[in-house]
Amino acid sequence: MRYSSVLLLPAALGLLLVAALAGAPAWFLAAAALCYAAEPAVERLLPDAARPLRWGQMGVGARVLVRQAALVLLLVQSGDVGDPTIVLAALGFLLVDWLRAVALAGAVAVRRVNRLPFVTRNLGPGEPALPADAPAWQARLVGLLESHADLLPLLFGSVGLLVDFPPLLAAGLTATAAAALVVHAGQTPRLRRMRALLNADRVGPDAQRRVDRYRPEVVLYFNGPPATVYQANMWLDALERLDRKAMVLLRTPEVVGALAHTPLPVLCITRAEDMMNFDLGTVKVALYPGNTGKNLHLLREEHIKHVFVGHGDSDKGPSSNPVSKVFDEVWVAGPAGRDRYHNSDAGVRDEAIVEVGRPQLGEITTEPSGGPVPTVLYAPTWEGWDNEHGYSSLLGMGEKIVRTLLEQGPRLRVVYRPHPYTGRRLPKAAAVHERLVRMIEQANRNGAGGHQVVTGADASLYECFNRSDMLVTDISSVISDYIPSLKPYVVTNPEGMDESVFRAEFPSASAAYLLGPDCAELADILAVAATPGQDPLAGERRTLRDYLLGPEHPDAMTRFAAAVDALAAAGPRSTMYGTSGPAMTTAPEPA
């Protein structure tokens, strides 16, 4: 039903053409109303409808042209309309479409900051700034020109036929042309700004001069879309606290605006050739939160020591990716990370693995949330790039978990925080997420109150930890990040694996309450774990904390800074492992 809903649009257009061929303006007006009503209806039923429509050559532009042609056909078939009005309609639509094309092209050009060769932030006064976003009214007008540029001409033209005054069509054409001109006039200053920023021969040397003056020693290198910027954001505070000059190096201009506020200098170099020609001679250490193809553009620099720091320690398969072999060192939080690489046969040398803790976890407190009732945080991971690496409970268990939590009534407060990537690969995961949001909103409307859905910048994950008394999550880095709180946590077991096998395969769950696919245990877990003094796994969590994150003393920030200093002071790659200090020993795995 959802996929067949796209047929509503060609069916409505067919009725419009039939009414035009019959020369019936009243029926034409009714069919036009049906066409416009079908557009949002199809979008609601199938959010991805644009793709099959494009495949069928029925994209939004084609639908506008069909409706315009239908009006011209109506004028021809009406019989009482003179040639001047028909010519006015044909030439008027031609002019309107040209003006519309200019306005839409301008809107696309202004939005394409991803084409800017260089973007800088916090690298000194006078640095080029991105053009301001278009005002909301202008963005809405662009949207109307894209999908409803024929609305006023069709309305005025068909009404003109009904009242026997066909030249009324001119008013609709004039209003639409004026709207396109207004949009273009508003775009002109931003287009000029974009044109200046696109001049790599001018902005490139300026960026180089600014970086040369700053002389960075450490860079955080990140490449990815804005939705993944959390991977870089989690390292900003640690870099700010280093005694060495640090800089954020990005490869996607849209991420510059999405990056969390930081006083650190930010440099974005978009094109590969510019990246490889840029002089980073003062940089000694590069930190990589992710394994991406564009890492190669910096990895080629032999004078820099390259370190994979990742974006969270977890028992997921990708957390011990064999690609990590390309880095000089791999920094993990604690002994669990070292064992993970050993057990995976990823080929990473033991001397290349350094345990630095998780310096970003210093703000996590062991104090209870302080609310009138216990707060349970449900933070599922996303569905993964493929089924082999899918650990999410959202599809099979999400609704059961949230329903059970909400059924506790006023005795419990629920906070739901989905992974930023939820629904990226599987639309049905996005659909489940929407249902969970509606369940929580309905519970609040029914008087439960206090339940919350946290997305985007509403609150950081660590803020959610401090506002909770218990966690329900999946196998992911959320577990190791939550461990410093020493609060009880529940780990989902979506496949219903034997508990001993599950805990052996995923050591981060060794101090967790396990939840099977039917979620039958959840109510009993809540009764025990959320009651002070009745939590039998409290002692095991303390042991697991040291295994996952390393010792409390020295603290993680001290260990992280020491690792940066040791690597910055190391000699050539052929000798650096002999000068970077003794290897750290691995603590025994908790039972």
**pLDDT tops 70 at residue 347:** yes
Plot region of 130 (φ>0 → left; ψ -120 to 50 → alpha; else → beta): beta
Residue 38: partners with Cβ closer than 8 Å, 6 or more residues away: 8, 9, 12
Residue 279: partners with Cβ closer than 8 Å, 6 or more residues away: 208, 211, 212
What is the band of 583 on the pLDDT scale with cuts at 50, 70, 90?
A: very low
- Give residue 529's pLDDT: 65
Q: Are 404 and 522 in contact (CB under 8 A)?
A: yes
The string over 145-159, giving b where at least 16 C-beta atoms fall within 10 Å of a residue's C-beta and e elsewhere, is bebbbbbbbbbbbbb
Angle at which helix 169-197 crosses helix 151-162, to 10 degrees, equals 170
pLDDT digits over 552-568, tens only?
899 999 999 999 999 99
Range from 126-130, 275-279, 430-434, 574-578 carrying the lowest mean pLDDT: 574-578
Q: Which of 27, 26, 32 is nearest to 12 (CA)?
A: 32
What is the band of 548 on the pLDDT scale with cuts at 50, 70, 90?
A: very high
Which amino acid, one-letter code, is at 73? L
Structure tokens at 342: 């050993």
Mean pLDDT score, 102-121: 88
Mean pLDDT score, 289-293: 90
**pLDDT tops 60 at residue 78:** yes
Mark out the alpha helices in 426-551 (DSSP H runs).
427-445, 461-466, 477-482, 499-505, 522-529, 538-549
- Give residue 461's pLDDT: 87
Q: In whole angstroms, what is the distance from residue 99 CA to residue 176 CA?
A: 9
Mean pLDDT score, 122-143: 87
HEC-encoded secondary structure of 89-127: HHHHHHHHHHHHHHHHHHHHHHHCHHHCCEEEECCCCCC
Reported residue count of the chain is 591
- Give residue 236's pLDDT: 96
Residue 280: partners with Cβ closer than 8 Å, 6 or more residues away: 211, 216, 219, 298, 301, 304
Structure tokens at 414: 């629920």
Q: In whole angstroms, what is the distance from residue 427 CA to residue 422 CA?
A: 9
- Give residue 570's pLDDT: 86
Q: In whole angstroms, what is the distance from residue 47 CA to residue 45 CA?
A: 6
**pLDDT tops 60 at residue 580:** no
Q: In whole angstroms, what is the distance from residue 17 CA to residue 554 CA?
A: 77
Range from 202-206, 447-451, 452-456 carrying the lowest mean pLDDT: 447-451
What integer best gives the mean pLDDT of the chain?
Answer: 88
Q: In whole angstroms, what is the distance from residue 465 CA to residue 364 CA?
A: 7
What is the band of 417 on the pLDDT scale with cuts at 50, 70, 90?
A: very high
HEC-encoded secondary structure of 502-534: HHHHCHHHCCCEEECCCCCCHHHHHHHHCCCCC
Mean pLDDT score, 403-426: 89
What is the band of 586 on the pLDDT scale with cuts at 50, 70, 90?
A: very low
pLDDT digits over 263-274, tens only?
999 999 999 999
- Give residue 389's pLDDT: 64
Greater pLDDT, 6 or 249 = 249
pLDDT digits over 461-498, tens only?
889 999 999 999 999 989 999 999 999 999 999 999 99
Q: In whole angstroms, what is the distance from residue 491 CA to residue 514 CA?
A: 5
Plot region of 357 (φ>0 → left; ψ -120 to 50 → alpha; else → beta): left
Mean pLDDT score, 64-81: 89
Plot region of 260 (φ>0 → left; ψ -120 to 50 → alpha; else → beta): beta
Task: Give all domains of the chain, ordered by start, each with its CATH number.
Answer: 3-197 (no CATH), 215-357 (3.40.50.11820), 363-549 (3.40.50.2000)
Dihedral sign computed on CA atoms, order 515, 521, 523, 528: negative
What is the band of 100 on the pLDDT scale with cuts at 50, 70, 90?
A: very high
What is the band of 346 on the pLDDT scale with cuts at 50, 70, 90?
A: confident
pLDDT digits over 14-31, tens only?
999 999 999 999 999 999
pLDDT digits over 148-170, tens only?
999 999 999 999 999 888 889 99
- Give residue 29's pLDDT: 93
- Give residue 541's pLDDT: 92
Cβ neighbour number for residue 516 with a 10 Å cutoff: 17
Structure tokens at 248: 């954020």
Is residue 379 helix, strand or coil? Answer: strand
Q: What is the CA radius of gyration of the chain?
A: 30
